[in-house]
Structure 1
Amino acid sequence: MSLSATHQDKLNTFWQYCLENQYFNIGYPESADFDYSPLFKFFKFSLNNCGDWREPSNYVLNSFEFEKEVLAYFSQLFQIEFEESWGYVTNGGTEGNMFGCYLARELFPNSTLYYSKETHYSVGKIAKLLRMQSCHIKTTPTGEIDINDLIDNIESNNEKQPIIFANIGTTMSGAVDNIEEIQKRLGHLGIDRNDFYLHADAALSGMILPFVESPQPFSFADGIDSISVSGHKMIGSPIPCGIVVARRRNVDRIAVEVDYICAKDQTISGSRNAHSVLMMWTAIQSHSTSTWQQRIAHCLSLAQSAVDKLQAANIPAWRNPNSITVVFPRPSEHVWRAFNLAVSGDKAHLITMPHHKDSEKLDQLIDAIIRDQSVLPKCSTYN
């Protein structure tokens, strides 16, 4: 391929833009300290992981062997026996959540999907695409699903087989829904464990909680039926991707035979990015458990430091347990745009990631927030 000088200049300009902005997208959880240069040579090939990596396929230019090792790693991480699990590398967290909801709908086709108002916006789309009945549930001030409201809605709907969409780290506040209490309360309603489905959206926190001393319940050992994690967030990747893991016995019932590739396909997308599989494999082979623990501890330390500095300036900043998301009152537009902050209603947040090697740039943001808050009208209430 060859480009004209004009088109090459356009690419060069975009290259400079990326260099200037790669490390300070602080409102969004994307690790940027990755190096996949050993994989560059594979971009010469049209790799395609079509279908189920457990099945031999006529399309031989795939990375199935690497995908198997990736899924073995995440099965262990999320506490399920590898042979009892099934999963694949997705195109992102939304596909993983759709897969979990799809499985649940196939198990309980007449049931309602219950999810909180702090749930990622994609879940509303998923419910429409899958034509699932859905119900919005209130949240607590810190972002967890309001279990009393959940149970009230399940009771009022006379729901016998509810589908629960649990957040293991909400988008805006990093809140973790109490899946232990949810299951206990469902039991009090007389709903048997085999009569509800529990999907866990752990887009960011799925790579945090396994590496902290006192994690909230979130794994298969804690009762979940499927879990979705993003690959381009805490792990880091130049290509959006993710991982979904589910109980194999549930997945077997949705398999589709595809004659022209001589294999089964249980995935949402069919043709899948085999290069992102190589990236996930490289990432997990490059980091030991102790390395992940150090990375997570660094991020948590930076987050707590940001909370302390903002609170010292009388700004009501806070974070949830085991969360690297720092929540504070929404600053002026020129501040949140200048620092690429995520804002929602009267709140904003920053997220501390492994590529924030020191607090210098964070301090620049914190100083800007403090200056800005000194001239903004004081809020009468804030949570």
Structure 2
Amino acid sequence: MKAKLYGLESELKQRNIEYNLGSLYTLPHPQTTQVYKRFIDYNPGNLGSWSDDETQTYATTKMEYEVIHDLIDLYNGNQEKLSGYITSGGTEGNIFSVWLGRSYLEQYCKPNEICLLKTSLTHYSVRKAGQLCNVPQFLIPLNKTEWNIDIQGFDSSIQNLYDQGYRGFIIPLTFGYTSTGTCDDIELITQKADKLKRKLKGIELFFWIDAALNGLITPFLDKDFHPFQSPYIQAFLVDFHKFGLVPYPAGIILYQKQLKKLIEQPIDYLAETDSTLLGSRPGIPAVSIWTMIHSLGKNGYKGLIEEEKENKEYFLEQITSVLPKTEIVTHSHSLSCGLIFHGLKSARLPQWIEEKYGLYPGKTKLLFFPNEKREEIIYKCFFLPHMKKKIITNFISDLEKSAIYSNNAL
């Protein structure tokens, strides 16, 4: 047993996280690792829902209350109208949102009249959520320019499904698609939804925003970010174990407080109710998130985000210079991008570069408006807090040294 544990420790130490350009793994802040070391022996649990009651018996539940309300402020939300809890991350947040959406729509529609709409870039956990909640799923085409929900495709998808008898639509809007960093146009889509609701008798729509990737980026680049400004947005999720510098698992879901009654369950053996998905939850993520919010603060996070934004811009400038045939897919408020190397053989980088920088050549099936199907090899690049300009310079240097540069640069 000891040998196996020592082996694991050795393996983890050998991982060079500094060179990890292609995955969403980063090292947590030292203060949060100290939180785990300090409190893990006490194994605090946060069973129940704590965001609506300021008077808490336990420190960890009080911290969860404070974290939720700090996040409501960050997103310019209404403290009286929003609720939420600390999740294990985006997958739980998406499953919770589909469950909440189905429960909401069942007030207005028959169960067999409800469906889930998503794009070919939507996170796979949404597909999982639809399967768990037994909701039929359909694809909305992407816009060819912006790589987000195409507004005409959205309109025609709703109308076609309406003609097939569907009346309730569960729709995730993504703020930071994992493969590309692109974002759905929340304002444009909710405005179109309003027109459709006036036009098509008996339809209801449930939207939530999957901001697992960009939820801790956009507020520091756009001070007027109001995800709950539209009355159509019912929930919003964000991860803290990415750009929040908190150990796994750590995410947050915020949702309209009036919906809680649709999913709330009494805890038979306690004088409490529970409106979470997991029920029993660890208390230490609440302490970790609370610690980062109070140690870094808005200015600290803003500094990290701005530094990585500069790194991303420098990286894309260099890529364009070295491999000008590269298609770059991204969004101005994202610290990620998708790269499609049209000029390379098989659209692939050399294997040694992939391995050195943690780059995975994901083969992605895509549906664009009106009905164009494509398959592309997309390299995902993430500019997490561990990514420094020196590593980017090394990456570009390695590209220039490789045979692909001499063969494809011009």
What TM-score, normalized by structure 1, do the two folds share? Answer: 0.89
- In the aligned structure 2, how far is the partner of 1:143 from the partner of 1:118? 9
Alignment pair present for 1:187 and 2:194: yes
CA distance in structure 2 between the partners assigned to 1:65 and 1:185 by the alignment: 40
Compute the displacement of 1:47 (Å): 1.1
**Greater CA deviation, 281-290 or 263-272?**
281-290
The answer to whether the 8 Å contact 2:24/2:382 transfers is yes
Match of 2:338 in 1: 327
Equivalent AA in structure 1 for residue 126 of structure 2: V
The residue number in structure 1 matching 2:157 is: 153
Q: Which amino acid aligns with 2:390?
A: E
**Change in CA separation of 1:30 and 1:11 when aligned onto 2, cut-off 3 Å:** closer
Deviation of 1:188 after TM superposition, in Å, equals: 2.3
Map residues 258-337 of structure 1 onto 2, 5 A cutoff: 258-313=267-322, 314-318=324-328, 319-328=330-339, 329=341, 330-337=348-355
Offset at residue 37 of structure 1 (A): 4.5
Describe the SS at the equivalent of 2:18: coil
Q: 1:203 aligns with which of 177, 189, 212?
A: 212
SS of the residue aligned with 1:206?
A: coil
Supply the RMSD in Å over aligned alpha carbons: 2.6
Counterpart in the other structure of 1:43: 40
Contact preservation (8 Å) 1:306, 1:326: no
CA contact (8 A) 2:18 2:391 kept: no
Match of residue 361, structure 1, among 362, 378, 391: 391
Task: Show the counterpart of 1:70.
Answer: 67
Aligned pairs, how many? 370
Question: Runs of 4+ in structure 1 displaced over 6 angstroms?
Answer: 59-62, 375-379
Tell me the alpha carbon deviations over residues 272-317 of structure 1, each in whole angstroms, 9 at most, x when there is no partner: 1211111111111112222222111111110010010111122425
Moved more, 326-335 or 268-277: 326-335
What's the secondary structure of 1:190's corresponding residue? helix
Task: Write the distance in 2 (CA, Å) between the matches of 1:337 and 1:46.
Answer: 37
Structure 1 Cα separation of the partners of residues 393 and 141 of structure 2: 34
1:161-172 to 2 correspondences below 5 Å: 161-172=168-179
1:83 counterpart SS class: coil
8 A Cα contact 1:317 1:326, kept in partner = no
Structure 2 contact 17–26 (Cα < 8 Å) conserved: no
Report % sequence identity. Answer: 23
Pick the structure with more strand per residue: 2
Q: Which sections of structure 1, spanning at least 5 residues, go unmatched?
A: none
Q: Distance in 2 between matches of 1:8 and 1:200?
A: 40
Which residue in the other structure is 1:144 paired with?
148
Other structure's SS at 1:10 match: helix
Assess, with a 3 A threshold, how the Cα gap between structure 1 residues 134 and 277 changes in structure 2: closer, same or farther.
same
Q: What code does the residue aligned with 1:296 have? A: I
Contact in 1 for aligned 2:77/2:226 (Cα 8 Å)? no
Matched, 1:343 2:343: no
- 2:186 is matched by which residue type in structure 1? I
Quote how far apart the aligned CAs of 1:81 are. 1.7
User: Which residues of structure 2 form unaligned runs of 5+?
Assistant: 342-347, 364-376
